[in-house]
Copies of this chain bind each other. A is one copy, B any other.
Amino acid sequence: MQSSSTLQPLTRVRLSVDCMGGDHGPSVTLPACRQFLDTHPQAELRLVGLPAALAPAAQWPRCTLVEASEVVAMDDPVEVALRRKRDSSMRVAISQLKAAADGHIAADACVSAGNTGALMAVSRYVLKTFDGIDRPAIAALLPNARGGFTKVLDLGANVDCTAEHLLQFAVLGSALVSALDGVEEPAVGLLNIGEEQIKGNEVIKRAGELLRAAHAAGRLNFHGNVEGNDIFKGTTELVVCDGFVGNVLLKTSEGLASMMGQFIRQEFERNALTRLAALVALPVLRQFKSRVDHRRYSGGALLGLRGLVFKAHGASDAYAFERAMARAYDAARNRLLDRVHDRVRDTLAAAPATSAAVDAPPQAA
């Protein structure tokens, strides 16, 4: 395989779409697909769902309808999605990423707004992880003050992480940044409670050692520890943390942004004068709102699997779902899967040796 930096973009990108997933199902996913087709003239879609639900798309260009007989509900337990609904739209959509008997795959990436636990479990079961990756992780984009997006993972797939997991996240996330932003060696920050190496709990300190070793070996661009505010400053392109912390910080951010929006509305609605001011300020406030609109960066990428799965927010509207599709398209076009494969092979294949050098006692000759 050639080096990631010389990988040529795909000329033909095929997405499989779980049209039944999310809080709103086809009433959101189909308009999103329609919009996506208009803005992506080179894309091809495999629309997966119940035949009746897909009927409106029967004549759409560059679309193939793929039937499924079941739907994973948003509150279905993982076991139900995994064992009982074997012909769900979610599973069939994911299966498009798996090589068929002829060795070919039907789609380059899959998008679903279905329930996260089920999507993670079914993806893992159907696709498996790369060698060297214990569990897939969820990465998302958070806007930063530099005008870009900081990639953060893991956001909830792994609540108990080892230092090795955090190293894996750094490798997976670096591949994501390179595919989405074209930055080949993105700076990686380790989320901690201070910049000094001595800060943090034991897992974090050990993860710092692994990341420094990978950096020294030229496998990663490790910046060092970062703190919570660095995510929104954009200090590093990538921030890694365990899934518990990542989930808390994501939801805390959503809650704070929503409260601040509410405060702004309340202040402008206070009386006749402030409502007048709101009229004048409206275009500016709209512009501000669109900059912090979470729909622009909702959802995330499931990384570490032998196939590209993108998760849109369960509550996505058509705009948010289309944005998730666009991100999946960009990632597939820029060969995220090959990039992940290369980096996992180059970095994590070297990891056991690194780890041994740090930890293991000298062995008898």
A interface, CB within 8 angstroms of B: 143-145, 156, 159-160, 191, 193, 200-202, 204, 227-233, 241, 243-245, 247-260, 262-264, 267-268, 270, 274, 276-278, 280-281, 283-285, 287-288, 291-292
A59 to B: closest C-beta gap in Å: 42
The majority secondary structure among interface residues of chain A is helix
With both chains docked as a complex, state the minimum distance between the C-beta of A196 and any C-beta of chain B, in angstroms. Answer: 11
Q: Are B253 and A230 in contact (CB under 8 A)?
A: no
CB atoms of A259 and B227 under 8 A apart: no
B145 & A259 in contact (Cβ 8 Å cutoff): yes
Docked pose: A253 CA to B263 CA in angstroms = 16
Q: Are A255 and B277 in contact (CB under 8 A)?
A: no
CB–CB A283/B277 < 8 A:
yes
Smallest CB separation, A166 vs chain B (Å): 13
A229–B252 contact, CB under 8 A? Answer: yes
Residues on B with beta carbons closer than 8 Å to the beta carbon of A245? 244-245, 248
Considering only CB atoms, which chain B residue lies closest to A249 in the complex? B252
Chain B nearest CB from A100 CB (Å) reads 37
Known contacts A156-B193, A278-B284, A281-B281; A252/B255 CB under 8 A: no
A202 CB contacts on chain B under 8 angstroms: 160
Q: Are A201 and B232 in contact (CB under 8 A)?
A: no
Cβ of A240 to closest chain B Cβ, rounded Å: 12
A41 to chain B, nearest CB (A): 33
> Which of A241, A259, A278 is the most central at the interface, judged by chain B CB atoms within 10 Å of its CB?
A259
State in angstroms the CA–CA spacing of A245 and B241 once bound together: 11
Which residues of B have CB within 8 Å of A191?
248
Q: Is the CB of A229 within 8 A of B244?
A: no
9 A-B contacts, Cβ less than 8 Å apart?
A145-B262, A160-B202, A228-B253, A233-B255, A260-B260, A263-B291, A270-B287, A277-B280, A277-B284
CA distance A193 to B231 in the complex (A): 20
Residues of chain B contacted by A263 (CB below 8 angstroms): 145, 288, 291-292
Report whether B267 and A284 are in contact in the complex, using a CB–CB cutoff of 8 Å. Answer: yes
Interface contact B244-A159, CB-CB below 8 Å: no
Docked complex Cα distance between A48 and B48 (Å): 72
Q: Assess whether B200 is in contact with A244, with CB atoms less than 8 Å apart.
A: yes
Q: A263-B292, A281-B281, A287-B267 are in contact. Are A228 and B244 (CB under 8 A)?
A: no
Closest to A229 in B: B255
Residues of B within 8 A of A249 (CB): 228, 248-249, 252
- 12 further interface pairs, Cβ-Cβ under 8 Å (given A160-B202, A204-B244): A193-B248, A229-B254, A231-B255, A232-B252, A241-B248, A253-B256, A256-B257, A263-B288, A267-B285, A267-B287, A277-B280, A277-B283
